[in-house]
Structure 1
Amino acid sequence: MSQVRELLDGVRSTVGNRYAYVVLAAVLGLLAVIEAGGRGDGTGIDLGSAMLLGLCATVPLAFLPAHPVPVAVAVTLANVVMLAGPESPFAAGVLAGIIALYQLARRRSRRVVFPLLLPFVLFALGDPQPDSTVLLVFMTAAVLLGTSLRERGVAADSAAVGQASADNLLEYAARGERARIARELHDVVAHHISIIAVQAETARLTTPGLPPEGAQRLVDIGDTARSALTEMRRLLGVLREDVEPGTSSVRAPQPGLEQLIALVDEARASSGASTRLIVRGCVVPLDPGVQLTAYRIVQEALTNARRHATGAAVDVELDYTPEALRVRIRDNGPGRAFEQEAGGHGLVGMRERAAMVSGTLTVGRPASGGFAVEAVLPIPPDAS
């Protein structure tokens, strides 16, 4: 329904635009005829020819919206014929020529418009009369104004398209990162649900003297856990990369803060520069999702540091506070803003991960130099 309404609005706009040019052409044509009659026998040409030239210089404006090039050529030719004769062009014809060239410049390229100025340039140079000079100035101004507005519109459209493309790329990167986060969280949650099912079954089989009612409840807990695991795998399975036939997938627990030491050692070995892990505050066990988020942020930041600050020393700081875990990765490189590189997809992923656990991420150049990435990940009050 909305598309039909837009189509009707476009038709009304087009019809209204054409109607306006028809009225304008009629008014200018009438003024040209009146001006030709007012000049009377003082003209160097007969009255009929003068009126015909006046109409040729104005009436074609009625077809300007649909046929801008032929109309501009016809109006320009009529004005040139008048300029070549003993009489100066009609004021209505000059106005029509200005309108025609302006609209043509708004809709066509320079190589189509500028040749129509050539006759006026030749008259102004060959016979520098006031009429030819003034006519050249007006026509040139109309063309330059129309061309300028057209190029500005093209530039604005190009910028809008570029911005839309950049937004689409960022959105695509964000969606891809969300899919990766979902896959990793699937592994974390699946691990815990599996433990619930195993522990419920173990408790049922190893608890002596368990009443039948209690045993049944443990069975129900195990069944519910297994059902939840099946449903979760069904919903999130589409996010997991397919394994080709004949190959086996390697399953491993998702990394956490305990694996940061190995990650820092690997970064130090691959970059050949100093890479330190600094831990402050009272270390408390955290939710696996928060640990996974912190690990991936550090991993991405170290990768970008190697890429954009090659050879720079990097400090990875974990600051445990009662309210949040602060993760800060800072290098002493040239301070190159890697978020401007390759569409900034790395930062998109880190921000998505921080937001997943209700955290925040900031990046920038600290006063001491280099480049820093800092994430603040809230710690639940019951963490101990």
Structure 2
Amino acid sequence: MDVRRMWRQWLSRHDRVRDALPGVPLVVISVAATAVGDNSWHEPYWFDGVWTALSCLPLAVRSLRPLQVVLVTLAGDLALMAFAPHMVAAPAASLIALYTLAALGDRRTAWTVGVIAALMITGVYAGSHTESLVGGASLVRFDLAIAATALGRAVRSRRDHLAEAAGRVELAERTQEEEARRRVTEERVRIARELHDVVAHHITLVNAQAGVAHHLMRTNPDRAYEALAHIKDNSRTALDELRATVGLLRQSDDAPDVRAPIPRLTDLDALIGGFQSSGLIVTVTRLGAPRPLSPSIELTAYRIVQEALTNTHKHASATRAAILLDYGPHLLRVMVTDDGRPGAPKGAGTGHGLIGMYERAVAVGGSATAGPRPEGGFQVVAELPLALAPATVPGAS
């Protein structure tokens, strides 16, 4: 097995030797054939072997110039068949050249040349041997030329099929790798978005309530104690939400029992209570007919409201915020506005919160916009479909 592999590797590095190799048995056979007599063996006709070797020389470049090699070998074999019919039993070099042309060239050229060569070989053989064109010996030459062409096309088809199969496998592997990288990227963004929403919201409230407790510790211990209690509650809620978020990120489906407990629109009162305890007055208005929605839609709406209120509390210097939930026939419209002053100082935000809003809305097939209002304050508007499209479920959160 090792010898065979080494031999193949050596031939792959020596193209001319590989191309000329089929001519070796042709020369040996032709010399041996001249040594066979009617009743005994005799001295071979070495002159016939020399001519056979000369006719096989063009085969050394058959992979480089297949059509030219066919023409040269065919001309030589036909000349020998016409002028020295006893020297050529079959145009072997031409058959090898026809096979090479069919295996390396295009189908139309291969069959055109193959049929013409078969007709010429049959005609010259029949004329030089005073045979009929439809005689057995003449038809054998015709069949040999057609068979060489057909064999070459079969080999070419098999090679093309194997190359196509290898290409499909390579494409599938490359597509699989790209899909895996895409899913990893989406999951990283998804995790970052969830952690940002949970951590940023609760840390903002804890920071605000800690400031209140620090300010009132000496002048109003009771209210300072109340602020510390809110800090404790928010810290516990943050830990619970982080656990729920980790559980949510570990699942790929959208079943409520799998991802529970996750925030929903029914939890807005608790969310608003945390902000109000920090001094922000929040009102909620519901239009249309509120109804249960897909957990992913409800989670998206809740996170958008949460991020909008967090930004309002951190950056807008606002005292009031209004939430509007408008249940339409096909869309849920979520709008959060505040009364922040146009010149209010901004905190050192990263912009990830707004980006997360857009990504969440788009992930469930909706849209989101955010920007300052002409009359002052800031406004976030999101339109979410009431029914989640199945194709968007994996990235819904």
Provide TM-score, normalisation by structure 1: 0.46
Q: Whose radius of gyration is greater, 1 or 2?
A: 2
Provide TM-score, normalisation by structure 2: 0.44
